[in-house]
Amino acid sequence: MAALSVCAPLQTVHASTSPLDGVGRVVYCGGPSWYCPGQVLTTTKGDDVVVLVVGSQPWVGPDLSIVDTAGLAFTQRAHLTNLGVWEFYARTESPLASDNFTVYSRGGLICPYCFQVLAVHGVSSRVFDSSPRFPLTVPSCPPFSCSASIGTVNHDFVIVTTAIGDSPDCVIPSGFTTLRSNGYYEVDYQIVGPTQTNLVFTCTGTEPISIVVDAISFHGSA
């Protein structure tokens, strides 16, 4: 397996009011990080939505399977065939204690920097924003700059995955935070409280290939 670019450190949101309940970290295996088996996720609450995004990698095959030690049942939410971007989700019943995630493709293990797992708390029973535009996809971007017109969102956790094809990080709009970027794909998010109209995500300063946007809804949450 080819070595990947060095990743920027994962960001952790510390504010107690944040719905982000956990971010996966790479398991240290004693060798080069790109050969380590997976990511570990610990959460503090139950009834979270766990999102797993597989980023753009040229060696990732079309058929993926997810295995985690807690036995969560994942559903595929989105897939772009252009260099391979996937989104899966599952719902927890109780907090996760060092839940170990691995992803397989064509019978082989996918490197832990090829995917990202995170947990969001306080999500509505329907999980995602009810607008039919989600998940929003931009399957083919123009060179050097790509935008996704998200539109109106209200009380959502907006998550954006951008395939960037072995290039620098995106320059992103104010209000978005980068959760993961490894030179092949980037995951950014924004927690939207009051209604925002005409929300747009733009990736510049690199070579975007495609974008997937989704919105996790807090409407009707417990």
Q: Residues 6 or more apart from 77 whose CB is under 8 A from it?
A: 87, 88, 89, 128, 135, 214
Residue 105 shares a structural domain with residue 146: no
Q: State whether 54 and 112 are in the same domain.
A: yes
What mean pLDDT is reported for the chain? 86
Query: Could you report the per-residue pLDDT of 20-44, keeping only the tens digit for each?
Result: 999 999 887 776 655 677 999 999 9
- How many domains does one find in the chain? 2
- How much of the chain exceeds pLDDT 70, in percent? 84
Same domain, 147 and 181: yes
Residue 184, pLDDT score: 84
Same domain? 147 vs 96: no
Measured in whole angstroms, the distance separating CA 82 from the mean position of its chain's CA atoms is 17
Band of pLDDT at residue 2, cut at 50, 70 and 90: very low
CATH (domain of 37): 2.60.40
57: containing domain: 20-120
> Per the domain annotation, does 128 fall within a domain?
no
116 assigned to some structural domain: yes
Higher pLDDT, 4 or 202: 202
Assess whether 26 and 108 both reside in one domain: yes
Residue 143 pLDDT: 87
pLDDT the model gives residue 82: 63
pLDDT at 28: 77
Q: Are residues 106 and 49 in the same domain?
A: yes
Banded model confidence at residue 1, pLDDT cuts 50, 70, 90: very low
Q: Does residue 63 share a domain with residue 26?
A: yes
Q: Is residue 3 part of a domain?
A: no
pLDDT (tens digit per residue) in 61-120: 667 899 999 999 999 999 887 667 899 999 999 999 999 999 988 767 788 888 999 999
Tell me the backbone φ, ψ of residue 148, rounded to 5 degrees: -120, 120
* Domain shared by 91 and 161, yes or no: no
User: Which residues, in sequence order, are bridge partners of residue 212?
Assistant: 137, 161
Do 115 and 141 share a domain, yes or no? no
| Separation of alpha carbons 122 and 222, rounded Å | 7
Judge whether residue 13 has pLDDT over 50: no
Domain membership flag for residue 61: yes
> HEC profile for 33-89?
HHHCCCEEECCCCCCCEEEEEECCCCCCCCCEEEEECCCCCCEEEEEECCCCEEEEE
Query: Phi and psi dihedrals of 182, rounded to 5?
Result: -130, 15
Find, among 70, 64, 72, the residue nearest to 90 by Cα: 72
* CB 128, CB 156: distance < 8 Å: no
Predicted structure pTM score: 0.87
The 10s digit of each residue's pLDDT in 141-188 is 988 999 999 999 999 999 999 998 878 899 999 999 999 988 888 999
- Is residue 111, in this structure, part of any structural domain at all? yes
Q: Is residue 199 part of a domain?
A: yes
85 and 148 in a single domain? The answer is no
In a domain, 8, yes or no: no
Structural domain includes residue 94: yes
